Amino acid sequence: MAGEFSRPVILWFRRDLRLTDNPALTAAIATGRPILPVYILDESGEGRRLGAASLWWLDKSLRALDAALSGRGGRLILRRGDSEAELRRLIDETGVDRVFMNRRFEPDAFARDADIAHALKAEGVDSHGFNGGLLVRPGAVLTGEGKPYRVFTPFLKALLQVVPEKPATPAPESLTTPEGPAGDDLDAWGLHPSAPDWSGGFDWTPGEAGAAAALSAFIDGGLADYAAGRDVPGRHGTSRLSPHLHWGEISPRGVVRAVRAAAVEGRVASVQADKFVAEIGWREFSAHLLHHFPYVTERAFRSEFDAMPWRTDPERLQAWKRGRTGYPLVDAGMRELWATGWMHNRVRMVVASFLIKHLLIDWREGEAWFWDTLVDADLASNVQNWQWVAGSGADAAPYFRIFNPVAQGEKFDPVGRYVRRWVPELRALPDRWLHAPWTAPGAVLAEASISLGRDYPRPIVDHGDARTRALEALKAVSGRRVDDEAL
């Protein structure tokens, strides 16, 4: 018995890079055995390869996790390669007979987890999987007919009725990791972007402590006016928790718990807390949709939209990526993305609509660019949001919605705080002309030292012409008369 008790167990970290509220860690500690914490960088066996910005974040988050483990007597073992092969190698080196992990629910990773668990079971190694990344497991929220929800509002209502109310599980004060099995040197992994390395302006604090600080700052700041403030890109009105949630540096249950507590304590109005919880619900909706309908990463959820007459236009696609479309709000968003690895949520919708509706370029091109350049690139959320803007997604949003980038700028960035920050060549242009500089009189442009076509590009497409073309394409696909909303 003593020999079995001294045999270590593996704690396989995935998208759960934290010690608080980590069910797999809690279960591993409950065994009373030494723990081998391991992270495996599997670049081929668990679905899509990570984008460059995600790898940058992972580098920093793993360092933070290792430091947290080291401060408690443990250490993080790093391995790179096929997940199953690396787990087997670690098992052979240590005699482990139990593996603890928090499951991933993306289709490829979910299937891979099951295959690994079955293979190890056949060799006498038990795998214990938990839900550490979602409010509830996919399949826990279904319609009365036992089918997945396809519309968000009823999904959210049902979700909030089944989320378990559990207190937070604190990080362990100490844990024991045996000497022996070696890990890789994280520096040797070379996770920073290259050719080029554009991460110099990334101003983030990855890791569990950074996530806790971000949540605290949001509750003390932006949450009080979240419903309106989240739409204003020139102010700090959003939580910026998405990359922390993606890597599991904080649990969604912990976020919901803290936000609701702030409302109960009277620190924020309950309507603001509820609005933010609904956004966590949207993240959950996306994850459940991807689990139930895995084809959405490649095809339209609403199959008729697979017939969209997409255009191949490398020059305009490149102009969009580099923030050179001639529409200031669009360009500001794309430049913010390149500089920081993040983009304000309102602006994400505008730039996505511009690519899809104004340029008629396939949403998958934009989704792939976001996947590579966003520090919060989450497969389920990324795909769902792009399909939502394209009108081909699951939710009942009007598919004919076409965002007017000028009107959006005038409404949500009226004094140009956001545009002037990210498109500094327009800084001296008066507010009246800022979001449509091509309409400014020549004298105004000259006074601001702007020559269109030299200092700042002219629009690469006319909004009116693009709107007409998009509506015709949508009518052809849907077979119905469509009129875009005034947005």
**C-alpha to C-alpha distance for 192 and 56, rounded to whole angstroms:** 5
pLDDT band at 19 (very low <50, low <70, confident <90, very high): very high
**C-alpha distance across the termini of the chain, in Å:** 69
Please confirm, yes or no, whether 386 is among the known catalytic residues: yes
- Average pLDDT, stretch 255-272? 97
241 annotated ligand-binding residue: yes
The answer, yes or no, to whether the previous bond of 196 is cis (omega within 30 of 0) is yes
The one catalytic residue in 189, 310, 338, 438 is 310
The one catalytic residue in 247, 320, 342, 386 is 386
Backbone angles phi and psi of 127, in degrees to 5: -110, 135
Please confirm, yes or no, whether 345 is among the known catalytic residues: yes
CATH for 303-479 (3.30.365.10, 1.10.579.10, 2.60.120.200, 1.10.238.10): 1.10.579.10
- Average pLDDT, stretch 269-292? 97
pLDDT tens-digit series, residues 333-359 = 999 999 999 999 999 999 999 999 999
Please confirm, yes or no, whether 198 is among the known catalytic residues: no
Assigned CATH class of 134-169+208-292 = mainly alpha
Please confirm, yes or no, whether 57 is among the known catalytic residues: no
Quote the pLDDT of residue 386: 96
185 annotated ligand-binding residue: no
3-class secondary-structure state, position 127:
strand
Determine what percent of the chain is predicted with pLDDT higher than 70: 96
Q: Within 13 Å of residue 61, how many CA atoms lie on the same side as its CB? A: 29
pLDDT band at 194 (very low <50, low <70, confident <90, very high): confident
355 annotated ligand-binding residue: no
Mean pLDDT across the chain: 94
- Average pLDDT, stretch 291-295? 96
- Average pLDDT, stretch 191-214? 92
Output DSSP code: residue 20.
T
pLDDT band at 1 (very low <50, low <70, confident <90, very high): very low
Quote the pLDDT of residue 483: 57
pLDDT tens-digit series, residues 59-114 = 999 999 999 999 999 999 999 999 999 999 999 999 999 999 999 999 999 999 99
pLDDT tens-digit series, residues 360-419 = 999 999 999 999 999 999 999 999 999 999 999 987 566 678 999 999 999 999 999 999
pLDDT at residue 220 tops 70: yes
pTM: 0.95
Quote the pLDDT of residue 451: 97
pLDDT band at 478 (very low <50, low <70, confident <90, very high): confident
Please confirm, yes or no, whether 204 is among the known catalytic residues: no
* Beta-carbon contacts of residue 287 (< 8 Å; ≥ 6 apart): 105, 133, 134, 138, 380, 381
Quote the pLDDT of residue 165: 85
The one catalytic residue in 279, 410, 425, 438 is 279
Domain ranges in the chain? 9-131, 134-169+208-292, 303-479
Assigned CATH class of 9-131 = alpha beta
Please confirm, yes or no, whether 363 is among the known catalytic residues: yes
The one catalytic residue in 57, 247, 363, 433 is 363
Dmax (CA) of the chain: 88
The reply to whether 134-169+208-292 shares the fold of 9-131 is no
327 annotated ligand-binding residue: no
187 with 161: CB under 8 angstroms? no
pLDDT at residue 15 tops 80: yes
**C-alpha to C-alpha distance for 408 and 421, rounded to whole angstroms:** 17
**C-alpha to C-alpha distance for 29 and 459, rounded to whole angstroms:** 59
* Beta-carbon contacts of residue 472 (< 8 Å; ≥ 6 apart): none
377 annotated ligand-binding residue: yes
The one catalytic residue in 189, 282, 338, 438 is 282
The one catalytic residue in 84, 189, 338, 345 is 345
378 annotated ligand-binding residue: yes
**C-alpha to C-alpha distance for 364 and 301, rounded to whole angstroms:** 13
**C-alpha to C-alpha distance for 391 and 475, rounded to whole angstroms:** 12
276 annotated ligand-binding residue: yes
